[in-house]
């Protein structure tokens, strides 16, 4: 039997039930090279994860998708910040 999950504080979905999918609001980053959307999600009985999708600029067509555990998302965030710091330290 899966663990029951109540609605977490970050959930932006209108519901009062347990064991439903929870989703946060979506954050979008629009760049000249394309758009990136991120959202926090949790499936019934599961752990929260970060969903990431990339799109062509102003297009609804998904180019790529990834689902990252919170630990993996934290590692990716640190790696991205390290790359930015390295690029700016010229």
Q: In this model, does residue 89 exceed pLDDT 90?
A: yes
pLDDT value at residue 5: 62
- Summarize pLDDT for 17-29 with one digit per residue, the tens: 667 889 999 999 9
Is residue 40 included in any domain, yes or no? yes
Is residue 54 included in any domain, yes or no? yes
Is residue 50 included in any domain, yes or no? yes
Is residue 4 included in any domain, yes or no? no
For residue 29, give its domain range.
Answer: 22-88
pLDDT value at residue 4: 58
Is residue 51 included in any domain, yes or no? yes
pTM given for the model: 0.81
- Summarize pLDDT for 36-86 with one digit per residue, the tens: 999 999 998 899 999 999 998 877 889 999 999 999 999 999 999 999 999
DSSP for the chain reads -PPP-PPPTT--S----SSS-EE---EEEEETTEEEEEEEEE-TTS--EEEEEEE-TT---EEEEEEEEHHHHHHHHHHHHHHHHHHHT-
Number of domains in the chain: 1
Is residue 1 included in any domain, yes or no? no
């Amino acid at each position: 039997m899966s663990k029951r999950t109540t609605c977490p504080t970050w959930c932006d979905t209108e519901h009062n039930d347990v064991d439903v999918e929870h989703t946060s609001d979506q954050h979008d980053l629009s760049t000249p090279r394309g758009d990136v959307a991120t959202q926090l999600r949790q499936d019934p009985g599961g752990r929260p994860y970060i969903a990431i999708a990339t799109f062509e600029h102003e297009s609804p067509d998904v180019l790529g998708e990834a689902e990252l555990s919170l630990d993996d998302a934290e590692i990716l965030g640190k790696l991205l910040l390290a790359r930015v710091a390295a690029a700016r330290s010229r």
